[in-house]
Amino acid sequence: MVLAAVGQICSTASMAHNLSQCRILVQKAVAAGAKTLFLPEASDYIASSPSESLSLCRPASQSEFVQGLQSLSRQHKLPINVGVHEPSDSDAQGNVAADQKKKMKNTLLWIDEMGEIVQRYQKVHLFDVEIENGPILRESDSTEAGNKLLPPFSTPVGKVGLMICFDLRFPEPSLHLHRLGATLLTYPSAFTVPTGLAHWSPLLRARAIETQSYVIAAAQCGPHNEKRVSYGHSMVVSPWGEVVGELGGEWKGEPELLVCDVDAEKVESVRRGMPLKRRWDVYAEV
């Protein structure tokens, strides 16, 4: 049995406050015996405007939030997967080449048990939408889109393929990562309430079913500021499409933790029992 911990928080514009929430989750994950902790998109902060978000953005090497998580990971020998903001002019190591930042990267870091950042994925699909009677969100105004998927990599909970939030709406990336050997897909998110009510669970289950992989979606929950509220409902879905764990959508003022077993044999069993032999000769290979 390998346990994965999934954290649910409500990020604000205070990185110190957000780190405090994550510190609680690290302690709970360690106490539960989890081998990895998954945290939401934008765990470092959620600002009330693009300009405020840009002003808060720091490279990983200068971020009190990232540095704090690296220290906790090192202290507890716990790998942590976390979504953060980074300057668009930072390099692969998170160092900034110039002082002036025009856009950000929405990135997902994998911090290993030694506290080192060993994987870094930049969100490919950006959320640009105008919701009727709801918020107008144009992520592309302040965020630079990524242009590649990372190959799946080995972790204590399986071969992980990294994706973020709005990537969930596109089956192509998950199919591509599945073809490269992924057994677990991540979708750390900050879903809006209207889109969450409509599509969160169906999309997560669909991605799990079509790739026969575990899906882990750590979610932001509750009101971040006067303009923005997130749906919550952090979830773990099995390769058979079963929801094996889910948190609620009401923010109660404290971070929450979901702990689920990630069973490698379950992946193999589902794939043996329901082989999906795709006809790449008929349609385009993903």
> Catalytic site residues?
41, 123, 165
Find out whether 5 and 259 touch, Cβ atoms under 8 Å.
yes
Taking the CA atoms of residue 22, residue 36, residue 234 and residue 208 in that order, the dihedral angle to the nearest 10 degrees is 160
C-alpha 241/C-alpha 229 separation (Å) is: 27
CA 194 distance to own-chain centroid? 20
Longest Cα–Cα distance of the chain, Å, equals 55
Say if CB 45 and CB 65 are below 8 A apart: yes
Burial of 13 (0-12, 13-18, 19+ CB in 10 A): middle
Determine contact, residues 29/260, Cβ cutoff 8 Å: no
Cβ(170)–Cβ(21) under 8 Å? Answer: no
Q: Residue 73: enclosing H or E segment and its boundaries?
A: helix 64-76
Tell me how far apart the alpha carbons of residues 221 and 226 are, in angstroms, rounded to a whole number.
Answer: 14
